[in-house]
Amino acid sequence: MILKSALPFIAILLFLLALLLRRRAVGASGWLFIAGYCYFEAFDYFVQEEYFDASLALVFLTFSLLLALLLIRPGENEDLFFTITKVALITAVFYFPFSEITFLGDSLIFITAKITTIVLNLFNVGVYMVPLSSIYTTSSSFHDSYNPIEIILACTAIQSMVLFIGLIFGVNAAMRRKLKAFLVSVPVIYGLNIIRNVFVAAAYFGQWFGLPLQSFDIAHNVIARIGIMISLIVVAYAVFVILPETLDLVEDFFRFIFRKNQSK
């Protein structure tokens, strides 16, 4: 959908203008366009019956509307909201080209699928990849009844990586510490995501938890999601220790929200 694809790039332009002109209302408009994009994302996920991802899209839609509302109000916390806008700009610049430009997204998917296939074969799972992103087992009878593993953009961990990129490079801090925080987060997240892909594919093809579809569901929707959540918490803690300015930003934002609610 052309309209959906255009929304985030309009938001990027508005975020940039908000920072250059120091205009809160312009930043608020950018968040409204992000909210519109999240609406279409949530709708698409519901159609695909991906209810977990749809729920996340709705959460971010609500967050975007909240920020738009706070920015449109004149007054305090200028530095806080422009820092958040800077974080949003960096995150959007690194994410939306991959999500909305087919060539870039497909390239990242191909690289991730290729690495996943190589690692699976290192552990003698026995798989091969059919371009662009389908991973098949070498068991000749398996695919008479079951589909291959399909690597999609969500399997690249791009969402988690760009959030940390935006947070790390959006705050004011020494570049040396920013680079250190980057190294303990983004490459680590990508590496852990490859492990997740390998685990899910091996469980599916090896029928570790029963039939293939049951094994995939348990591995992907239960074990892998719990593992990823725990690993992201650990990575976030490491970033907060190395770059406490990121924790200060999060604390300042929630302190502002709670103070506003208590004053009503």
For 65-92, what is each residue's pLDDT tens digit? 988 988 887 666 778 888 999 999 999 9
Contact 99, 117 (CB under 8 A): no
Domain boundary at 64, 99, 134, which? 99
pLDDT value for 52: 78
Angle at the Cα of 169 (from 77 to 231), degrees rounded to 5?
Answer: 105
Q: How many structural domains are present in the chain?
A: 2
Domain, as residue range, for 26: 1-99
Residues 12 and 131 in one domain: no
The closest of 198, 203, 169, 200 to 183, measured between CA atoms, is 169
Q: Read off the pLDDT of residues 90-123 as tens digits, 9 standing for 90 and up.
A: 999 999 999 999 999 999 999 999 999 999 999 9
pLDDT value for 49: 78
**What does DSSP assign to residue 66?**
H
Residues 132 and 226 in one domain: yes
The closest of 77, 64, 67, 86 to 173, measured between CA atoms, is 86
Domain boundary at 50, 76, 99, which? 99
Q: Read off the pLDDT of residues 150-202 as tens digits, 9 standing for 90 and up.
A: 999 989 999 999 999 999 999 999 999 999 999 999 999 999 999 999 999 99
pLDDT value for 263: 52
Residues 63 and 132 in one domain: no
Per-residue CA distances from 159 to 51, 92, 134, 194, 199 (Å) = 17, 10, 21, 14, 20
Torsion angle of C-alpha atoms 73, 74, 80, 82, degrees rounded to 10: 90
Where does residue 207 rank: exposed (0-12), middle (13-18), buried (19+ CB within 10 A)? middle
- Whole-model pTM: value is 0.91
Contact 172, 243 (CB under 8 A): no
pLDDT value for 256: 80
Token pair of 60, please? 């971010």
Residues 46 and 164 in one domain: no
Say which residue the tokens 């519901």 belong to: 46
Residues 235 and 111 in one domain: yes
Residues 120 and 160 in one domain: yes
Residues 111 and 178 in one domain: yes
Residues 87 and 134 in one domain: no
Token pair of 235, please? 């990575």
pLDDT above 90 covers what percent of the chain?
75
Domain boundary at 83, 99, 115, which? 99
pLDDT value for 139: 84
Say which residue the tokens 């969402």 belong to: 159
Q: How confident is the model at residue 1 (pLDDT cuts 50, 70, 90)?
A: low
Residues 160 and 65 in one domain: no
pLDDT value for 260: 57
Q: How confident is the model at residue 219 (pLDDT cuts 50, 70, 90)?
A: very high
Residues 84 and 108 in one domain: no
pLDDT value for 262: 53
